[in-house]
Amino acid sequence: MALIAPSLLSANFLQLQADCDMLNNSKADWFHLDIMDGRFVPNISFGPMFVDFFRKSTTKFCDVHLMIEEPERYAEAFKKAGADNLTVHWEACKHLHRNIQQIKGLGMKAGVAINPHTPVEALKDVLADIDLVCMMSVNPGFGGQAFIPHTINKIIRLREMIDEQSLDVKIEIDGGVNLANAKSIIDAGADVLVAGSTVFNAANPTDVIAQLKQIV
């Protein structure tokens, strides 16, 4: 059964407490928090202060996804804000292994995200050092995009790589996840589903989360 991680990027920022309460009372497993700097991706979201607000609003796992340049400059701030997992982008890190060591040294779980054009083989030298791979199934920066079908093949290959080494690394899929494609994503080998607009644009978000959680 996959973990469900609603993305707060799609929440109503005028009703954040209500949306946090909804998630706390739902079957959601994680809070997924997207940090964007306007440099690595063409959008700006929020920073450590907002993560601190979310942390104080939930006891659930806070999964922080840094879509930013120079993530090493902010890792400590996100640790202080309450991040449980900190994910950096393969494409944004000149010294990726050092970034992973920094995150681990701060006491967080470490994730690495890859964009749609990046092959999963790019992770082979760090796969044993991380806890999670966040596979982007849309081009990062904006919610509401359509799932890129080729992602299924990438999930299958990554699952093979993880299993070949008997590693405890979760595969997280971020972008375009919905009730229609969730089963094929899970069947391919995914462990965590990030769902933003699918959840928060629904008439009954709690029910959508429950339906996603029931897919096996």
Residues involved in catalysis: 34, 174
CA dist 17 and 23 (Å) reads 10
Taking a C-beta distance cutoff of 8 angstroms, is the pair 179, 208 a contact?
Answer: yes
CA dist 73 and 115 (Å) reads 21
Q: How many CB atoms lie within 10 A of CB 204?
A: 11
Start-to-end Cα distance in the chain: 5
Taking a C-beta distance cutoff of 8 angstroms, is the pair 108, 86 a contact?
Answer: yes
**34 to each of 42, 64, 158, 216, how far by Cα in Å?**
13, 6, 23, 26
Q: Which residue from 50, 52, 63, 86 is spatially nearest to 196, judged by alpha carbons?
A: 63
How far is residue 88 CA from its own chain's centroid? 10
**185 to each of 4, 12, 132, 135, how far by Cα in Å?**
13, 27, 16, 11
Helix (H) or strand (E) holding 32: strand 30-36
